[in-house]
Amino acid sequence: MADTILMVGTRKGLWVGRSDARRTDWSWSGPHFDMTEVYSCMVDTRGGRPRLFAGASSPWTGPQIQVSDDLGETWQPTSGAHFPSDLDTSVERVWQLVPAGDSTVYAGTEPGAVFRSDDGGETFALERALWDHPHRPQWGAGFGGQAFHTILPHPDDPSSVTVAISTGGCYQTSDGGASWEPRNHGIRADFLPEDQRYPEFGQCVHKVTRHPARPDRLFLQNHGGVYRSDDHGDTWESIADGLPVDFGFPVVAHPHDPDTVYVFPLNGGDRRYPPDARARVWRSQDAGASWEALDEGLPDQFYVGVMRDAMCADTHESAGVYFGARNGTVWGSSDSGESWRQVVANLPDVMCVRAAAI
């Protein structure tokens, strides 16, 4: 079996785990970037050896994009994502790091902006047309801040990218970033007056995902609502029926089956822990037509949440699924969610989890 690497970004540093069997044999290094916020991380497997990326933000040195070519033994800062000198603003956090094509890396930041690197992440340039979009002055900020937390490059069309921001909604370019259009038809915004709940933009999107084998199908977890689009985001339909609640943060596509998707429902409002305080991953194997709770090995006393980027899957033949919680625990499944084991505990508040077969 191929080795597995698991990156866990927290509010106080990054931990890197490795395992052969993905059961109880995990070995860990960390904290890397001790006492800094790590809201984003990425395992880049496109080259001859994996490269690790981490978006680390310190109140003293500011945000940096760090890279490692030796699985976390050593790290080097890139030039990072910075606004052009004619803009009176600066990057506060890097919320998203995503590979595309052969050498492109996208970064999503707070304040809400997207940056693109075409040299493997060494240098980044602002997607200026998105920053200058006429809707931007009306984008709000969720409780976590205003940030582009979702970036989905189309696997077959390098000119097409879908992004999402809280609170602004989904946007898409089909011309390599020269223009961006909202893609929110059918997504409701419960926090707006009843007669305005399906706006052109302004929804509080929590996360969007898609399967590379069926790129026109997108799954979305909204502030309230779970949705699917089968036309590349042109229209959306609710698939929340069968879930205990429709609030949550992450949504993860199975690496091999475009009909299988995972969510982690939470109570809304001030009670942002799972219904009945029972840790449950919910899976649909029919694109959202029905749902089942996956709970073997998970705790029944779980008064914490799972954030939007704290859940992911690896690409093993028997897919691994992982989630990290705000109590510093990370749970993993090596059988597509059928059973779970705790892979690490007593870490700081987990913000992002990324896994890869290497």
For the chain, how many structural domains are there in total? 1
> For residue range 331-350, what is the model confidence (pLDDT) as tens digits?
999 999 999 999 999 999 99
Please check the confidence at residue 191 and state whether its pLDDT lies above 90: no
**Host domain of residue 183:** 37-306
Does residue 235 sit within a domain? yes
**φ and ψ at 194, to 5 degrees?**
-55, -35
Chain mean pLDDT for the chain: 95
The most distant pair of C-alpha atoms in the chain lies apart, rounded to whole Å, by 55
Does residue 51 sit within a domain? yes
Distance between CA atoms of residues 123 and 34, nearest Å = 24
> For residue range 107-116, what is the model confidence (pLDDT) as tens digits?
999 999 999 9
Place of tokens 């909202």: 182
> For residue range 299-338, what is the model confidence (pLDDT) as tens digits?
999 999 999 999 999 999 999 999 999 999 999 999 999 9
Looking up residue 95, the CATH number of its domain turns out to be 2.130.10.10
Q: Where does the pLDDT of residue 2 fall: very low under 50, low under 70, confident under 90, or very high at 90 and above?
A: low
Candidates 22, 64, 24; CA nearest to 319 is 22
Candidates 14, 40, 152, 168; CA nearest to 92 is 40
- Confirm whether pTM is higher than 0.85: yes
Does residue 100 sit within a domain? yes
Does residue 57 sit within a domain? yes
Does residue 9 sit within a domain? no
Kindly state the average pLDDT of the residues 274-286. Answer: 98
First to last CA, the chain: 10
Kindly state the average pLDDT of the residues 124-128. Answer: 98
